[in-house]
Structure 1
Amino acid sequence: MKIQKVRSIAKTKEVNSSRMSKGEIIRAVQEAEGNFPCFGTARDGFCDQKDCMWKEDCLPPG
């Protein structure tokens, strides 16, 4: 997902995304949604979050 789309989603969640990296913004959005801020933290390419909208950007292609 492009950074412009990520920033747009952040804005709808009232997350101030200025001066934040893409990963930081996504983790802030995850927290704002009441979810665990896990973006980019999966080990060995394993993620148990089946319905995560960030999964494609988070995990390496495999």
Structure 2
Amino acid sequence: MNLATVRYIAQNKGVTPGSLCKQDLIRTIQVNEGNVPCFATAEEGFCKEVECHWHEDCLRRSRRR
């Protein structure tokens, strides 16, 4: 998912994107939704939250770490 799409999602959820990078913006959205801000922190590329909107992108970024 590209940053423009994440910014659009953020605005629709009442989050002001400002100059946040994609990772920080997604974590801000997660907090706003009442979730743990865990984007891109999956250890060893595994996450049990398979229904998460960010799941696929999260795992891809986690593997790069």
Q: State the TM-score, normalized to the length of structure 2.
A: 0.86
Unaligned runs of 5+ in 2: 61-65
Unaligned runs of 5+ in 1: none
For the residue of structure 1 that corresponds to 2:9, the secondary structure is: helix
In structure 2, the partner of 1:18 is 18
Counterparts of 1:43-62 in structure 2 under 5 Å?
Answer: 43-60=43-60
- Cα offset for 1:48? 1.2
Count of paired positions: 60
Match of 1:27, as an amino acid?
Answer: R
After the TM superposition, list the runs of 4 or more consecutive aligned residues in structure 1 that deviate by more than 6 angstroms: none
In structure 2, the partner of 1:39 is 39
- Sequence identity of aligned pairs in percent? 47
